[in-house]
Amino acid sequence: MDEERVIAIHEAAHAVAAIRAGLVFDHVTAEPDDERETDGALHWSELHVSTGLEMPPGLVAIVLLAGPCAEAKLRKLRIERLFMGEAAMDDRAGIAELGLSEEQFVAASRDAVELVEHEWPVIERVADALLDRGLLEFDEVADLIGHADEAD
């Protein structure tokens, strides 16, 4: 399987989930960053930090879980198997920091799976744009989602 496509799908799912959750990010990239040791990443906006804007842990969990869920769908793997692997290491660490209860984690997992299923065509569209450009700003992802919503 084309690893660049896998990374783009994973990061696109994070971006789509963030927008659907009403969360703002700076940009998303599918390009490796050797310094940060990432294959791609969703970069949160400084707006959250500078204004103290609260990001509800349940919504952040859905955003974090959407990447591995989309990657599992693409690879035709069980989410549990993928989530325990190296590809989801940063997502696991982020979720651990949220301090969710088991019930909250299960609910976020279920919501992330449903979001990926429902938003799959949009995730693919954003992934294609990431493959073309490498990096998308928040507004560019929002426009792609808006065009998809208008088409439906």
In this structure, are residues 116 and 123 in contact, taking their beta carbons and an 8 Å threshold?
yes
List, edge to edge, every strand of the sheet that includes 135-137: 41-44, 25-29, 135-137
Q: How far apart are CA 27 and CA 76, in angstroms?
A: 27
Interval 65-88: pLDDT, tens: 999 999 999 999 887 776 666 666
Element (H, E) at 27: strand 25-29
pTM of the model: 0.88
Query: Does residue 59 have a pLDDT over 80?
Result: yes
Tell me the chain's radius of gyration from C-alpha atoms.
14
Query: Does residue 48 have a pLDDT over 70?
Result: no
Q: How far apart are CA 73 and CA 82, in angstroms?
A: 10
28 burial (CB, 10 Å; 0-12 / 13-18 / 19+) is buried
Task: Give me the domains of the chain, ranges plus CATH numbers.
Answer: 3-151 (1.20.58.760)
Q: Which pair of tokens denotes residue 31?
A: 């390009």
pLDDT at 40: 79
DSSP SS3 for 37: coil
Tell whether the torsion through CA atoms of 139, 144, 150 and 152 is positive or negative: negative
